[in-house]
Amino acid sequence: MLSNEYRHSPSGGNLFLDSSSRWVLKYGFNIRDEANARMAMGSAAEFGAQAGLMQNLTDEQITKVAIEEFDKLRDGEVSEERSYVGPIACNFVKALKEFGQPLTYQNKLLKQVDGLNREIVGYTDFGYENLYIDTKATLRCPSNIFGHFQAGHVRQQAVYAKLSGKKVALLYATPTKFALYHVPQQLIDRAWATIFGAFQAIEQLDNMFTTPEQVTKIIPLNPDSFYFNDETYEIAQEKWRA
């Protein structure tokens, strides 16, 4: 069912755990979403922060870079998120300055892990000597990383920790504040076990079925998640009826 180029990833594992039918639509039928405004907000804020750190930019310059990147990602379509990217990028920089200049940015990790047939791939945000920090642009900072809404973020960091052997942390920033959380080993171990189980289940599906149409007969269509929009739900209905 899966292409020869398929690699496990934190985003793929999280999608399988949170919405298995959306996973089938994306990786089985190759139906992918365009980046929405909230996703563009995160990417643009991170891009602005990277430029700010590496070039020692002022807040005004960081904001300009972040907004330009947002406009590029959204093809000039204006939304309220556009006004947030600058302040969020500046808060990322405020939090990251204590670590100095990052040694890597968007570093690719690719590794074969025992117990899996497919390799795992991941792209880290800001890398330091013994630490990877992943940035999350948001409008509401979590008070901790033990909640349900942070579970996917923690699983992502658990993958990076497993592939690299480095410590990992999550940096959340809103337009007005930020919060940095180092992920404890106990949480990493639990999250890794969960997403590793998802990777194993994905491989079992791939071994059992040759086409995504066959998989729709055992995985029901469940559109009740933010992973579906009207367009992808309509496409999914057609695929599941076939």
- Give the per-residue SS3 of 31-45: CCCCCCHHHHHHHHH
pLDDT in the model for residue 188: 98
Q: How confident is the model at residue 215 (pLDDT cuts 50, 70, 90)?
A: very high
User: For residue 44, which of 135, 108, 122 has the smallest C-alpha distance?
Assistant: 135
pLDDT in tens, 91-102: 999 999 999 999
pLDDT in the model for residue 101: 94
Q: Residue type for 173, please? A: A
Residues written for the chain = 242
pLDDT in the model for residue 99: 97
Q: Residue type for 118, please? A: R
How high does pLDDT run on average in the chain?
97
CB 8 within 8 A of CB 199: yes
125 pLDDT above the threshold of 90? yes
Q: DSSP letter string over 9-39?
A: -HHHHHHHHH-HHHHIIIIIS---PPP-HHH
Of the chain, the percentage scoring pLDDT greater than 70 comes to 100
The residues that bridge with 172 in the sheet, in sequence order, are: 136, 179
84 pLDDT above the threshold of 90? yes
The better pLDDT of the pair 223, 242 is held by 223
Determine the average pLDDT of the residues in 113-134. 98
Distances (CA, A) of 107 to 72, 121, 168, 219, 239: 22, 10, 14, 34, 36
34 pLDDT above the threshold of 90? no
pLDDT in tens, 12-30: 999 999 999 999 999 999 9
pLDDT in the model for residue 33: 84
Q: Give the residue ranges of DSSP H helices in the chain.
A: 10-18, 20-23, 37-55, 59-73, 85-96, 151-164, 185-208, 212-215, 230-241
Q: How confident is the model at residue 60 (pLDDT cuts 50, 70, 90)?
A: very high
Determine the average pLDDT of the residues in 164-169. 98
pLDDT in tens, 130-143: 999 999 999 999 99
pLDDT in the model for residue 76: 87
What is the phi-psi region of residue 228: left when phi exceeds 0, alpha when psi lies from -120 to 50, beta otherwise?
beta
- List the structure tokens of 74: 């959204």
35 pLDDT above the threshold of 90? no
pLDDT in the model for residue 211: 97
DSSP class of residue 175 equals: S
pLDDT in the model for residue 242: 82
209 pLDDT above the threshold of 90? yes
